[in-house]
Structure 1
């Protein structure tokens, strides 16, 4: 938690440096501080410091700052798992649903053709969105991961209304993650670690209880982002830093002109403020700097 707070403070300073009139004299010192911090995948995903360092790299003219920023980003990329395109993921989910529908239809057809004595068994079948139990595995790594998730679910007293055993829920979560990656490489491991980390977070007991009560299904837990799993306290902290960053940008752009003709590429809103500055030779057109007043995103175009 200490590392994450430190990174968020540094991120706020770097955000100011990337503005058009930001002072970058201390940029190199701050980047060297980042190099000494024990930053992992969890800190990267929660703080998004990588995007800020990359923005500083683009905005800086100091070769040493650019080189240090590039090295930081290169080192951090090792922690980030490869993510599949949303379209590909949606396509897989649709194919999976189609297969389940076909199986259900075939099962119902077979039941209707059975003798009258089998009518009671056919009536008891119910379609489910996920297998009632995960397939067994002999892979030692996968078994260890299932055990880690189960231990995280059993970390504290069981709440009322538990829908399944921690072991069974853990098997389903691990199986869903494995089905997405189809291997146990770094992406699989990072996904598992983030589930365990958030389930064990003493400041976020609601996540664990919602999984045990069935409010959050194993499949849903397997695909949730860090932001979705975060505790209410962490979400409030992120909102606070975001608001402060927006306020800082708005203060810097106070003399700008408001317009709804420009659209933010990040949030899609048109509540923007722009300034024009002569950043090149006098015979070249001025550069327009735009600030989204809704999310704080800044960009420029000529």
Structure 2
């Protein structure tokens, strides 16, 4: 069993604790301890969504130990982002910067005395920043506005990037690729907006805002890469079925006139039987019309 499967199992148990509303601190600490001892990778974080689960547990718990260990895990996992997205200092006012630092401290502080954290470096207590160039181009500004609206949502997690800053960085990366605001540029922006607003795939927006997916990466991702896990599984299933149908048609079958095609109404067919289910269930019959090429599954 791989790390991803182990993390998924732990995540399901944590989700059950959160949804049930029980305060089983011992079990929560055991599960969080198992996550702490796991050699976590950025890929596992993205696929399992364990960061969201641990943060939900932190919010639901009233136990100091559970909240402290949850914050420690979240902070440690954020360090993995340094391998994927370079950190760039933000250029904000003093008051805005102080507020941002305080917000990050609430998420990443491990629950110990503030005096212990005061000696840590600034980079340890702040999330990776985004950067973008300034522009007065009306089209680019409108695209940044659309991206900002797609990124905004109620109930965002602590430590997330500012939607306006992230939107500007995404637009900047798209513009750098095309170096104009013509049709390819606009289509790229539209696809980002549509996927980020997709209510069936909220994880994409969250991963962008917490930095698991960088602005440069989301700017160039394909539709398949941005799709939800459910959509990816559906596409894999449909692809496999298409391949199986193609192989059946190529290998031929047994000629028969017992089947009538629903399209051309001819009965010049061939059929093939394959065991697609368990051995104790009947075989599946696939029929191919030799007249029009229609294929169907006979149950």
Task: Tell me the TM-score range normalised by the shorter chain.
Answer: 0.3 to 0.5
TM value normalised by structure 2: 0.41
Query: When the two structures are superposed, what TM-score results if normalisation uses the length of structure 1?
Result: 0.40
